[in-house]
Amino acid sequence: MSFGLQKAGIQVLAGIDNAEDCRRTYEENIKGARFIKHDITTLSAPSLSQRLGIKVGDPNLVFAGCSPCQFWSKIRTDKTKSERTAFLLKHFQKFIHHFKPGFVVIENVPGLYRRTSESILPGFFKFLSQNEYKWDDGIINANHFGVPQNRMRYLLVATRLLNEITLPPITENISATVRDFIGSANGFTPINAGHRDEDDFQHWAANLSEANLRRIRATPPSGGDRSAWKDDQSLQIPAYQGRDKIFRDVYGRMHWDRPAPTITTRFNSLSNGRFGHPEENRAISIREGATLQTFPKDFVFRGSNVQQIAKQIGNAVPPELAKRIGKHLISLVTNG
């Protein structure tokens, strides 16, 4: 979000996260902004004001909240660990209440919006109304905003400066596809599973077992899936025996001429979704995943291991989406 807003022309003052492992990535790429390592549940508004010199009621101030979303996700995982971060919107609200910024942006998974009986979103709407904010919100597909993924997100934009506000406009009749972003025509040299280059391009592909190499070799290019080898007992996976219609994307290849599926934190793993390269016999690389998230090729990721970097990429707001949000806010300020 910080990177995209900055590219839109908004001055980014700081990003707050309680994960130290993303500090270097943030500081090396978001020039002029501070990385504040802090849990927002224990960070006070006066302390933030002191750190950044921001003032109450600044009409040019933007607060963007992109809290962890695993609790509200459709992915079938144990939600116990994510319960602690499920209601961070309430803590985000205290900063809005104190600073009264000109604009507020929230980006999260659709579950936050669809499961309103469980979430605190209705209470947040009431808070916005009580503080004279106008807002627009809804479920959007990042593919309609220049991102080559079918990535469904909940987006809210609010302001206290205007009588009406809208979500950013979508790109009409244009669908960004995998072919538009990766492949040899876009500067990606063909590589094998297990490849790791030695520079900051980070065209790193996970290694594959011999069985998984055989599986992907047997999977047709551009959209093939595991149904191609369902009758080969040496390749069939016992959990899917006779259950060909469940989890169809697992071990599948991306389509060249369609948007990619949602880039998750495990996008570099063949067995975690439709993350097979459209034609090469491997899962997509770290750099390919970042590119499908619309990070530029000179954006450098830092982390202690590959999976930590993949997590940073998969959890990120696609910069192109954030950029369009930022440009929309600037347009609203300029044109009313």
Around 331, how many Cα atoms within 13 Å sit in the side-chain half-sphere?
A: 12
pTM score, whole prediction? 0.93
CA distance 69 to 107: 10
Q: Which of 78, 102, 80 is nearest to 158 (CA)?
A: 102
Q: Which of 153, 155, 121, 117 is nearest to 136 (CA)?
A: 155
Per-residue pLDDT band at 244 (split at 50, 70, 90) = confident
Per-residue pLDDT band at 296 (split at 50, 70, 90) = very high
Catalytic residues: 69
User: What is the helix (H) or strand (E) element at residue 28, kind and residue range?
Assistant: helix 23-29
Q: Report the interhelical angle of 88-99 vs 121-130 (nearest 10°).
A: 10
Residues near 125 by beta carbon (within 8 Å), at least 6 away in sequence: 135
Could you give the residue ranges of the DSSP H alpha helices within 34-132?
Answer: 45-52, 88-99, 111-114, 121-130
What domains can be seen in the chain, in order of their start residue? 2-173+318-335 (3.40.50.150), 182-293 (3.90.120.10)
Per-residue pLDDT band at 101 (split at 50, 70, 90) = very high
Residues near 223 by beta carbon (within 8 Å), at least 6 away in sequence: 252, 253, 254, 255, 256, 258, 278
Task: Please give the distance of CA 280 from its chain centroid, rounded to a whole number.
Answer: 25
Residues facing residue 36 across a β-bridge? 16
CA distance 252 to 1: 30
Residue percentage of the chain with pLDDT more than 90 = 83
CA distance 55 to 187: 45
Which is higher by pLDDT, 86 or 170? 170
Query: pLDDT (tens digit, 9 = 90+) per residue, 166-180?
Result: 999 998 777 899 999
- For residue 20, the 8-state DSSP code is G
> What pLDDT shows up at residue 194?
98
Q: Which of 184, 106, 149 is nearest to 292 (CA)?
A: 149
Which is higher by pLDDT, 219 or 171? 219
Asked if pLDDT for residue 31 goes beyond 60, the answer is yes
